[in-house]
Amino acid sequence: MTINRRTFLSAGSAMALGSLAMPALVGKAMAADKIKLGSLLDTSGLFDAYGKPMDMALRLAVDEINAGGGLVGREVDIVAYDTQSDMALYTQYAQQLVRKDKVDVVHGGILSASREAIRPTLHKAEIPYFYNVLYEGGVCDRNITVDGVTPAQQVEVLMPAAIKKWGKKIYILAADYNYGQITARWMKKYAEEAGGEVVQTDFFPLDVSDFGSAIAKIQSAAPDMVASALVGGAHLSFYRQWAAAGMKSKIPMASTTLGIGNEHKVLTPEEGDGILVAYNYSPELASPANEAFLKAWAAKYGDTSLIHEIAVSHYQGVLLWAQAVKNANSMDRMKVIEAVESGLSIDGPSGKVSIDPKTHHAILDVHLMEFESQKLKVVESFSQRQPVDTQAVCDLSANPDDNQQYEINI
């Protein structure tokens, strides 16, 4: 029933008083029927430098959604667990979100190992999952949406630029798990396509923090450059030890990971300046959307220095999910998935972010950047890059029941 102004004014006082009481009743009804957004992030432990700003970004996005009236007439409520950089807790809390909390969607996971610890549980439970972190590519699952950069979007920009700048002889260092191993192969592929040569590749467990022997090996190999896919707080030690050994001024470096957790702000300019990276986001981007995001973050948290690549990816992932719900005008899982596959797009702090229907991966801008005085100085921008690596193995339009991570032939 619609009550226009004339009908309302002609009604009796009891009707008017009843109508005035309705907003409170509606508010109570909405509060009792909230949308539950599950969050699984490392807000403590080895990877908290990634997880804490991601958690802050998620909460900012949800605040903005609720301030705009929520979704389908309902407020969004966050059900968050600190996974403490422990893969076993990812599995435990994912089951808790499904069975006890009965959430409507999950955003979370940082390492690829954490994603794969929870993805099967959420797929089986038919709870949409948004993974908002750069990774090695190849996941093909209609239940997941990925908005972080993949190697074909990032490494294909980084390696040719580094070779052109510094030379063809390359030494690769990488974390010893699937992200590092696969990214190292992408580095080799794009280096060779650009006329480069990989002289050595070394892998390091995530808890390794002594790189003395590795630095000695690099000195002996005398490459033109080092390409790094090291990950996490322990691996940050490499960059300090590299500079302390006097190597930074002798052999330049490119990285696919340094800076995504604001590591360049922990390093001194003497340790970090000049390192080349390629990401989707820099706080230095001049756009209305980024300026609005920085202003909103400052209003909520004060310190904008905590913002990093995957915090922005996480913020944009929540907004992509919200836009899918709005487009579907429903919380029904299949309607939301169909909205994801119908040309879903937002204008985020990093620029336009669209979802490729066949892979559920993002199409986005990538910026070649250089560390300068603990900032990400944009050198060159590459517009709307496709996730061609995952497109080579995944077609959810043709195979909607696919559910695996492919090892892409490199």
Distance of CA 267 to the CA centre of its chain: 22
pTM summary value: 0.86
pLDDT of amino acid 234? 84
pLDDT of amino acid 261? 85
* Angstrom distance (rounded) from CA 339 to CA 323: 9
pLDDT of amino acid 311? 97
pLDDT of amino acid 32? 53
pLDDT of amino acid 233? 82
Angle of the 309-328 helix axis to the 333-340 helix axis, nearest 10: 120
Per-residue pLDDT of the chain (410 residues; tens, 9 = 90+): 333 333 323 333 333 333 334 444 444 444 459 999 999 999 999 889 899 999 999 999 999 999 999 999 999 999 999 999 999 999 999 999 999 999 999 999 999 999 999 999 999 999 999 999 999 999 999 999 999 999 989 999 999 999 999 999 999 999 998 889 999 999 999 999 999 999 999 999 999 999 999 999 999 999 999 999 999 888 999 999 999 999 999 999 999 999 888 888 889 999 999 999 999 999 999 899 999 999 999 999 999 999 999 999 999 999 999 999 999 999 999 999 999 999 999 999 999 999 999 999 999 999 999 999 989 999 999 999 999 999 999 999 999 999 999 988 88
For residue 401, CA distances in Å to 124, 141, 404 come to 12, 7, 10
Question: 253: which residues sit within 8 A by CB, 6+ positions away?
Answer: 225, 226, 227, 228, 242, 274, 275, 276
Domains assigned to the chain: 33-147+284-360 (3.40.50.2300), 152-279 (3.40.50.2300)
Q: What phi and psi values does residue 202 have, to the nearest 5 degrees?
A: -120, 140
* Angstrom distance (rounded) from CA 323 to CA 105: 13
* Angstrom distance (rounded) from CA 32 to CA 116: 33
pLDDT of amino acid 408? 87
Q: Look at residues 161, 224, 150 and name the one whose alpha carbon lies nearest to residue 193.
A: 161
The type of residue at 359 is: T
* Angstrom distance (rounded) from CA 113 to CA 90: 10
pLDDT of amino acid 7? 34
